[in-house]
Amino acid sequence: MGRLLIIGCGGVAGVAIHKCCQNSRTFQEICIASRTKAKCDALKEKLEKNTDTVITTAQVDADKVEELIALIRDYQPDAVLNVALPYQDLTIMDACLACKVDYIDTANYEPEDTDDKEWRAIYEKRCKEEGFTAYFDYSWQWAYRERFKEAGITALLGSGFDPGVTSVFTAYALKHYFDEIEYIDILDCNGGDHGYPFATNFNPEINLREVSANGSYWENGHWVETKPMEIKREYNFPQVGEKDMYLLHHEEIESLAKMCRE
């Protein structure tokens, strides 16, 4: 993965780009692309003094497949890392398919317009089949599986911390420490404090959707759905301290439940 195209330049993207630049042997060249190129240029100026990674920047509208295709063909990356908005997952996947380039993201697709008729039909079908009503789920992206397989490329979904590292830890624990796992709790804690009543480390709109959606968990072979913020627990996190926790729907429980079913 010597040459990586990174789409997005927000909070999550900034962290991912910093990490890439700390590992210059793997990420020898990166291109940071966003709708606002000035943000990419500012991050490049901040990073390039302390890394051997060669950084370039570009402007792209990630809602437009044709612009993404043009950028991918011009830069010719080994892989595309999508750290833009979840609304844009499918357009970036379409562009990667057209260019036969591997795809990576950190969060599953979420439709921006919940009143869209096509989205509503898919949403209602999913609710009927699976028995829960999350705003976001993997069904749209999992539908690309055969197309990526036929193209001979890989789509690595949900490869951030949570989802991502949580799923890797679970798989590692099962392989190396347990003969069988019957129960998994995933505890997510943000120990940061911006000094504001509400301040997230990722897109605020997505965060508001997440906390206002019904919670869910997988138990005894089926989904159990809860009201938003209905279940609260307190937990003393090492090096962080006592924190309130609320049960939410999150994408890694979908992939873990699918693994259990299969």
CB neighbourhood size of 192 (10 A): 9
Give which of 80, 95, 154, 129 is closest to 254, Cα–Cα.
Answer: 129
Distance CA 19, CA 183 (A): 32
Q: Are residues 133 and 212 in the same domain?
A: no
Number of structural domains (the chain) is 2
Q: Are residues 29 and 139 in the same domain?
A: yes
Over range 219-228, report the average pLDDT. 85
- pLDDT digit string (tens) for 46-100? 999 999 999 999 999 999 999 999 999 999 999 999 999 888 999 999 999 999 9
Residue 39 confidence (pLDDT): 96
What is the average pLDDT score of the chain?
85
**Domain stops at, among 156, 190, 222:** 156
Residue 199 confidence (pLDDT): 61
Over range 213-240, report the average pLDDT. 87
- pLDDT digit string (tens) for 104-157? 998 877 776 656 666 566 656 666 665 555 555 677 888 899 999 999 999 998
Q: In what order do the strands lie in the sheet with 3-7?
A: 54-59, 29-34, 3-7, 79-82, 102-105, 155-156
Amino acid in the structure at residue 246 = Y
Domain holding 128, by residue range, is: 3-156
Instruction: Report the percentage of the chain scoring pLDDT > 90.
Output: 47
Residue 243: phi and psi, rounded to 5, are -135, 145
Residue 113 confidence (pLDDT): 62
Q: Are residues 121 and 191 in the same domain?
A: no
Confidence bin at 16 (pLDDT 50/70/90): very high
Distances 85 to 12, 97, 142 between C-alpha atoms, Å: 10, 19, 18
**Which pTM does this prediction carry?**
0.78
Distance CA 129, CA 152 (A): 30
Residue 223 has pLDDT above 90, yes or no: no
Q: Are residues 108 and 17 in the same domain?
A: yes
Residue 220 has pLDDT above 90, yes or no: no
Q: Are residues 257 and 134 in the same domain?
A: no
Q: What's 8's domain CATH number?
A: 3.40.50.720
Distance CA 82, CA 34 (A): 11
Over range 243-254, report the average pLDDT. 83
Find tokens 């295709």 and name the residue. Answer: 69
Distance CA 25, CA 191 (A): 31
